[in-house]
Chain A
């Protein structure tokens, strides 16, 4: 009895605290949900719109139609300008996967040199690398175009992929350098004393430990490549080689007004791979993003 009594006495303040905390918590959730509604609105809008008649999409305020139609999606089977939608997807997928392989290999090699090898001129090269991080891409746009044109590589995928295999994406090099520097030094020092060369250490010790940074870079690369518009716009001029972004732009130009529903449906379909990657790997993306800012 007495034990119970002592148990009860601390309870009232706790209840009071709960009562005081509840409105705060409620306000927090209401605030968060309100922001969520604004954030998600365009996404819900495009999902709902893709099931509406073309004429009802812009003017109607209803998020979802009373009688949904699927002809916007089935119509996509006809393709755009006689080219099947799947062609654009295969092209985009080829570029995205090719970019991912290039970035993971070339940037991790570069990052290993910066993080683990003491060579003359390392600091200078590192400064140059950081400098390219802030360099506006547009300064390189025209001379690179001229270069690839002189090498007869317009309308091929080489201009869109070559840079990825030559570690020109400084952001990923930087991300991996930060990660590798934080690996325990003892591991590769021990390996060195055992007579391991740099390539062995890179391949058997550093790469496996860097998995999170590699995955983050791979996913970002995939998404960036998938979304890229300016690169394909400049280098590709044959619709059969177009990526999803360019195909979508062609759709807008050619039948955007006549087939508004199809355009909205195609916009959504084009986003699906990115959204799928996000749902599967959001932790890697957000953590990678967060660490990039902290060590700047």
Chain B
């Protein structure tokens, strides 16, 4: 920090000092600038070369290939055969595909809001400066790091199975549901619980946003006699709306792509199903089954592109809607 401050005037002097020397000799400047520009271009692309190679080889190329496969019948062994829109009509007519869409949408629509509400609620609690704040923040964040692992999925399956803790708690209240993981309709809620358990990642982002709200706003509101609820509604929420937007966008996109926990909690796609009566057959699970277990690479590519379209639509709607509810601070101070 200190060195930066002392350097600043020095460079300014240097720049000033060099200015007059270049001033009178006008002709070499454009040429030199051009040369320097070319050198910058060369350096830029040299530094970028790993990324550019990766982008062409592993992102752009595969996307084009995937789009082509989507219109073919391709089983990995024979050459892809062009079949036009057949994959798409098969997909839309497939009750299992529709079921997987339904399961995924339900997971996204139920899980994401609960997770974000939990994240915001706990962030508001932790935003109060109290002893142990850092400890709680770290402890609440920890599940986000391990939540996607196979280990946690195994533990989850155990906790939500028949006669385990959750079931016993329900039995205590007189409901015997027989465990969630064995029930085709309930098993998806164990996945919802798993994603809500990982509220720590968005919480940390909310906390960082809350810290940036100027104290004076609340002090002024206190003077005006505004209630805490009004302060939350009229100060906190607008001020953190960019962070809220970021969290909604990221969590929604991630939720659409859930795979490992659904695969493990559902007991793997062994025998081509995922969970009792396909209870955890989320979209990517079905994509995996069709592509890698049934060797229907063309159909799976068509499914992947439908997922991309869905995610792009959700992203576009969110970006469109942010004009109405996201308040970015104006550039000036």
Contact = CB atoms under 8 A, between A and B. Distances in A.
A112 interface: yes
B168 A289 contact: no
B204 interface: yes
Contacts of A85: none
B65 to A, nearest CB: 4
Interface string A188-208: 011001000110001000000
B47 A167 contact: no
Interface in A220-273: 223, 226-227, 229-230, 234, 245, 248-249, 252-253, 263-264, 267-268, 270-271
A153 interface: no
Interface string B135-176: 011111111011011111011101101111100100000000
B257 interface: yes
B102 interface: no
Interface stretch (B38-46, B84-92, B107-115): B38-46
B208 A293 contact: yes
B275 interface: no
Contacts of A25: 130
B151 A267 contact: yes
A134 to B, nearest CB: 6
Given A36-B139, A106-B51, A142-B66, A58 B161 contact: yes
B237 interface: no
Given A42-B155, A138-B257, A289 B51 contact: no
Contacts of A234: 292
Contact of B11 (A118, A119, A189): A189
Given A253-B268, A293-B205, 10 more contacts: A39-B142, A58-B161, A122-B44, A147-B62, A166-B51, A186-B7, A186-B11, A229-B149, A248-B150, A249-B150
Interface residues of B, number: 100
Given A163-B54, A227-B148, A32 B126 contact: yes
Interface string A276-296: 001000100110011111101
Contacts of A36: 136, 139-140
Given A112-B47, A119-B44, A291-B208, A143 B139 contact: no
B272 interface: no
Contact of A146 (B14, B65, B132, B249): B65
Contact of B47 (A142, A198, A296): A198
Given A146-B297, A166-B58, A230-B259, A270 B150 contact: yes
Nearest to B56: A166
Contact of B308 (A135, A166, A291): A135
Which 4 pairs from chain A and chain B are nearest by CB?
A119-B44, A166-B54, A293-B205, A143-B62
Contacts, number: 282
Nearest to A291: B208
Contacts of B45: 113, 119
Interface stretch (A72-80, A93-101, A124-132): A124-132
B207 interface: yes
B164 A59 contact: yes
Interface in B52-99: 52-55, 57-59, 61-63, 65-66, 69, 76
7 contacts: A39-B142, A58-B161, A110-B50, A119-B45, A141-B304, A142-B301, A293-B208
Interface in A38-60: 38-42, 45-46, 49, 57-59
Contacts of A142: 66, 69, 291, 297, 300-301, 304
Nearest to B260: A229
Contacts of B201: 289
A13 interface: no
A274 B144 CA distance: 11
Contacts of A173: 51
